[in-house]
Amino acid sequence: MANFQLTSETAFKVKTKFLRKYRDLANEPLEFTPGKEDQLIEDLMRLVKRDRTYIEFTIQKALADTKGNRL
């Protein structure tokens, strides 16, 4: 279970920050449905080839400053 909750707005910001860090994700469909945080984590794990801990940490870091551009 994910350690965070995303809304449509925060999911868009997290996606934008991931696209800045991993430019090759631009061609991948990263869809998010509220309440499906685990599915988003699994998709990102597969796409960036990192473990769940890293993905959750990165998402939480992105959520810490939603107005900033840094990840």
pLDDT in tens, 51-69: 999 999 999 998 887 777 6
pLDDT at residue 71, rounded to an integer: 57
Under 8 Å between Cβ of 61 and 6: no
Tell me the average pLDDT of the chain: 86
Cα torsion through 15, 18, 48, 32, rounded to 10:
-10
pLDDT at residue 70, rounded to an integer: 63
pLDDT at residue 69, rounded to an integer: 65
Q: For residues 42 and 70, which has the higher predicted lDDT (pLDDT)?
A: 42
